Amino acid sequence: MRQAKPWIGWGNITNITVEIARDFLPKQLEVLEALKEKTTKFVLYSGAFRAGKTLLLANIAIRTCIENPGCVGFLGSLTYPQLRDVVFTVFKQEIEYYQKALDKKGVPITLITKLVTSTGAMRAEFWNGSMIHFKACNDELKLRGYTLDFFGLDEPIDIDETIFTQLVGRISGNVLKKPFGILTTNPGSENHWIYRRFFESGNPKYKTIKTTTYDNKLLPDYGEYIKSLQENFDDDWIKRFLDGDWGAFSGQIYKEFNPSVHVGDFTKRDDIKYYIAGVDYGTRNACCILTIGVTDKREAIVVDEWYHSGKTSRETCERLKYLDSKRYHYRKIFVDPASLDLITQCKQAKLPVEGGENKVEPGIAKVKSLIKKGLLFIDKHCLYTIKEMQSYRYERDKLNHNPSEKPLKVDDHSCDALRYALFSFKAWKIRTRIGWVKQSLWDY
């Protein structure tokens, strides 16, 4: 669908109209209209594969800078290669498209007067004083100090929420009367911060436009293209990247975990024989203590979580002492083996502690096995654990294409604590040639 005669203001030149004959999809036009709404401040274009997300992002940034002399914008994605090879490349292609339209009209303006391409300082300076900064979004500390009128994030599904909140605090609207943020992304888990903000919050400032690959009728050989994708990819990929569904997605580690099956109110379970604990300790990152009840059926029930940031090893040890003496009387406590100071303090406090086995792939396999066998459950009050079990995923390469077998080190603290406990505790390790040892877990 073609947008008819968009008007572009040229600073002091006010009597020129240039028609930019860029074809936009109906869903893309919905995004453009949403940005005009009085109550809308942040717009999410949740699109599937080849839904024109980055192209739309570039066009919004360009038009905003053209129509608002002196404004300052920000475009970002997770890594510098992704920023350079995708966002910045599409931006330059679209600028060329706009420049050709001006040249054809005979307008004596060069849109971009300076284009800086060096890593860490990428920016585009417009003839009218507007500017766009391009930054990798892997550390929110690097984003401090900016004063912005708008920002755009490409594939924020891979970006930490702290980046978004930092940018929200950066848009003050020095030029724009209504500063805004635009997010263009593939779908992810329903526990992702994007889903919570844009789908569940009910905040009128947040607007969501959903689309699918099937909506993009502008794709060359549309029918054959769709058919080839359906034939060559699995159901998870199709749900996320063609249908645009949020939920289970390619790369999710614990796909077998289903909250409706594995989450419940277990505070009154009277068949728990004893308790163990798994601990993932971090100083800057969150520290997580998971208490796991064990039944005589070999069920593992996460009954309690302690999840806090900025805790010292001493404070963590004190918490374990309290949980052990006042509530659970742990049979064993398994701690991240790299946390030697915490392990030492716990041993000095006479706690039944040892370094957990940090074999990542076998540990993940053990957790998956217990889920599949119906032996792992989580109490409904353990919110962080429930969230991370659904969002825990494998890393991808620098361009976010090919998955690896290494988990992404984001929002994984409860998953690590769970893995230390379940993989290290002998109740789930001892086997004979004919199967599991037929000894009551209570005897271990």
- Do 393 and 330 fall within a single domain? yes
The whole-number pLDDT of residue 362 equals 87
- Do 95 and 196 fall within a single domain? yes
Task: Answer whether residue 142 shows pLDDT above 90.
Answer: no
Across 124-141, average pLDDT = 93
The whole-number pLDDT of residue 10 equals 42
Task: Answer whether residue 261 shows pLDDT above 70.
Answer: yes
Task: Answer whether residue 6 shows pLDDT above 50.
Answer: no
**pLDDT grade for 160, boundaries at 50, 70 and 90:** confident
* The token pair that represents 354 in the structure block: 């040892």
Average pLDDT over the chain, rounded to an integer = 83
The reply to whether 38 falls in a domain is yes
The reply to whether 248 falls in a domain is no
Across 414-418, average pLDDT = 95
**pLDDT grade for 404, boundaries at 50, 70 and 90:** low
- The sign of the dihedral angle between the CA atoms of 345, 346, 347, 353 is negative
The H-or-E segment that residue 208 falls in is strand 206-210
- Do 37 and 176 fall within a single domain? yes
The reply to whether 13 falls in a domain is no
**Residue 29 to residue 26: CA distance in whole angstroms:** 5
Task: Answer whether residue 224 shows pLDDT above 70.
Answer: yes
Task: Answer whether residue 442 shows pLDDT above 80.
Answer: no
Among 18-27, 69-78, 231-240, 246-255, name the one with the lowest average pLDDT.
231-240
**pLDDT grade for 96, boundaries at 50, 70 and 90:** very high
- Do 269 and 380 fall within a single domain? yes
**pLDDT grade for 134, boundaries at 50, 70 and 90:** very high
**Residue 210 to residue 186: CA distance in whole angstroms:** 10
The reply to whether 438 falls in a domain is yes
Task: Answer whether residue 139 shows pLDDT above 60.
Answer: yes
- Do 436 and 337 fall within a single domain? yes
- Do 284 and 406 fall within a single domain? yes
CATH code, domain carrying 338: 3.30.420.280
Three-state secondary structure call for residue 303: strand
Please report the DSSP string for 29-81 in residue order.
Answer: HHHHHHTTSSS--EEEEE--TTS-HHHHHHHHHHHHHHHSTT-EEEEEESSHH
The whole-number pLDDT of residue 138 equals 84
The reply to whether 7 falls in a domain is no
CATH code, domain carrying 103: 3.40.50.300
Question: Closest by alpha carbon to 83, among 143, 134, 150?
Answer: 134
* The token pair that represents 131 in the structure block: 């500017």
Task: Answer whether residue 229 shows pLDDT above 70.
Answer: no
* The token pair that represents 315 in the structure block: 């404070």
The whole-number pLDDT of residue 434 equals 38
Q: What share of the chain is helix, strand, coil (3-state, %, to 5)?
A: 35, 25, 40
The reply to whether 231 falls in a domain is yes
**Residue 266 to residue 379: CA distance in whole angstroms:** 5
**Residue 41 to residue 183: CA distance in whole angstroms:** 11
Three-state secondary structure call for residue 391: helix
The reply to whether 185 falls in a domain is yes
Task: Answer whether residue 358 shows pLDDT above 70.
Answer: yes
Reported as a single tens digit per residue, the pLDDT across 281-340 is 987 778 999 999 999 888 999 999 999 888 999 999 999 999 999 999 999 999 999 999
Task: Answer whether residue 48 shows pLDDT above 60.
Answer: yes
- Do 148 and 32 fall within a single domain? yes
Cβ-contact 34, 60 below 8 angstroms: no
Phi, psi of 309 (to 5 degrees): -100, 155
Please give the DSSP secondary-structure letter assigned to residue 197.
I
**Which one is predicted more confidently, 52 or 33?**
33
Reported as a single tens digit per residue, the pLDDT across 383-402 is 889 888 887 877 765 444 45
Q: What is the CA radius of gyration of the chain?
A: 26
- Do 53 and 193 fall within a single domain? yes
- Give the total number of structural domains in the chain: 2
Across 367-391, average pLDDT = 90
**Which one is predicted more confidently, 175 or 285?**
175
- Do 227 and 302 fall within a single domain? no
Task: Answer whether residue 164 shows pLDDT above 90.
Answer: yes
Containing structural domain, residue 335: 259-443
Give the angle 424-429-432 at the CA atoms, nearest 5°.
160
* The token pair that represents 418 in the structure block: 């769970």
- Do 152 and 33 fall within a single domain? yes
The whole-number pLDDT of residue 217 equals 63
